[in-house]
Amino acid sequence: MDPIKRLILVALPLGLFAFPGCSGIGPETVAPSRFDYTAAIGDSWKQQMLINLVKLRYGDAPVFLDVASVISQFQIGGVINWNGTFNNQSSSNIHTLGATGDFANPVTATANWGGTFGEPFLSSSQAFGVTGTYADRPTITYIPLSGEKFTRTLMKPIQPPSVLSLVEAGYPVDFVLRICVHSINGIRNRYGGAARAHPADPEFYPLLERLRRIQNSGAIGLRVQKTSEMEGVVMSLRGKLDASTEEDVTFVRKTLGLDPAEYEFRIVYGSIPKDNRELAILTRSVLEILVDSASCIEVPAAHVEEKRVNPTLSEETAQGTPVVPLLSIHSSRCRPGDAFLAVPYRNYWFWIDDRDTRSKSVFSSLMFIFSLTDTESKQAAPIVTIPSG
């Protein structure tokens, strides 16, 4: 076969290499992009929460940024090309032959030849090349939490129905009340805010212990009752109980000053109940919850000595037994090797031990509680847009 014809047969298939299979590139990006962005947004949310707890501990102002949207654009392209030049000794003619394929979307391929042939080739030059491009251009939009939304989300007290909905969802009642409540019928919880720090009343922790046992027995019921245009929550204590639970219920009634003959009690927001058939719960705002949680952070002794931060409050006791802090956040000069979460601040690392399941659970619950007061927000959830074409 003539040499030029053989070259043509070689060049034409090169152009066909540019055509990929029928499956598109876009669908392949959905799974990795979705999980990668989910992990990145979740990790950044946890780090933002922890750094704001540390800043509150040092009297610094917290700053929250919401991820409003994520738009990620992918572009993949590639080119394969081959060409050759052949010199004819007798006629000095130049012959060219080439093929090019473009992997971009839409896909194209070309093959070309020109010149004269028919005599022996004495010299030739050939070139082969492959080029490719990949681009990932994410556009992430952040919205700072400020103004009315800041006030509504951080400074507005959580409504009692929202707090008790956590109990209905299965959260331990002692944990929910310890985190979210200032007082129940005048019995005060501990608070760690520097401006008005105070220990819990002696009756508070025994009351929580009895309520937890009653909850485990299934004797506490909660329901929403609509009166006129308002919605209220009613707590009920079931009548038929075993001796142990009956003793706990009697203790709760006496401690809270509830009517011993009544089984249903209205739950209202406030410090003092109107009568003995009402349960007044003074709830905290999200900011107060964060300030109280931040008071448990173990700050460096050097910072306390330099009066950069207040010392950590001493442990409380209930009936002679130490009360375990809900959240333990440690500090160290070096970055910890086995941390659930760690953030740097003022040349120190503040972190939660990955083996501290209690602190990890409480920290995750704080992030969930953060959304309880944002029920009126009209801001849409984060949008992730990934072009598939």
Alpha-carbon torsion (242, 244, 248, 253), positive or negative: positive
Query: What is the spatial distance between Cα 34 and Cα 143, in angstroms, rounded to a whole number?
Result: 21
Burial of 242 (0-12, 13-18, 19+ CB in 10 A): exposed
Query: What is the spatial distance between Cα 23 and Cα 26, in angstroms, rounded to a whole number?
Result: 9
Query: What is the spatial distance between Cα 367 and Cα 289, in angstroms, rounded to a whole number?
Result: 11
Whole-number pLDDT of residue 22: 45
Model pLDDT for residues 301-310, shown as the tens digit of each residue: 999 999 999 9
Model pLDDT for residues 319-368, shown as the tens digit of each residue: 778 888 889 999 999 999 889 999 999 999 999 999 999 999 999 988 88
- Residue 110's pLDDT band (boundaries 50, 70, 90)? low
Q: Which residue has the higher pLDDT, 228 or 168?
A: 168
Pair of tokens at residue 156:
């507005």
In this prediction, residues 286-298 reach a mean pLDDT of 92
Q: Which residue has the higher pLDDT, 37 or 21?
A: 37
Q: State pTM to two decimals.
A: 0.72
Whole-number pLDDT of residue 173: 92
**What is the distance between the terminal CA atoms of the chain, rounded to a whole angstrom?**
44
Model pLDDT for residues 274-285, shown as the tens digit of each residue: 999 999 999 999
Sequence letter at residue 213 = R
Q: How high is the mean pLDDT of the chain?
A: 78
Under the phi-then-psi rule, with left for phi > 0, alpha for psi from -120 to 50, and beta for the rest, what region is 72?
Answer: beta
Query: What is the spatial distance between Cα 79 and Cα 104, in angstroms, rounded to a whole number?
Result: 8
Whole-number pLDDT of residue 381: 53
In this prediction, residues 239-258 reach a mean pLDDT of 88
Whole-number pLDDT of residue 262: 87
Model pLDDT for residues 24-55, shown as the tens digit of each residue: 556 666 677 777 878 888 888 899 999 999 99
Burial of 318 (0-12, 13-18, 19+ CB in 10 A): middle
Q: Which residue has the higher pLDDT, 195 or 348?
A: 348
Pair of tokens at residue 157:
């007290």
Q: Which residue has the higher pLDDT, 352 or 318?
A: 352
- Residue 201's pLDDT band (boundaries 50, 70, 90)? very high
Degrees, nearest 5: CA angle 270-276-281 = 25
* Weakest-pLDDT range from 19-23, 177-181, 334-338: 19-23
Q: Which residue has the higher pLDDT, 158 or 126?
A: 158
Whole-number pLDDT of residue 102: 53
Three-state SS annotation for 72-97? EEEEEEEEEEEEEEEEECCCCCEEEE
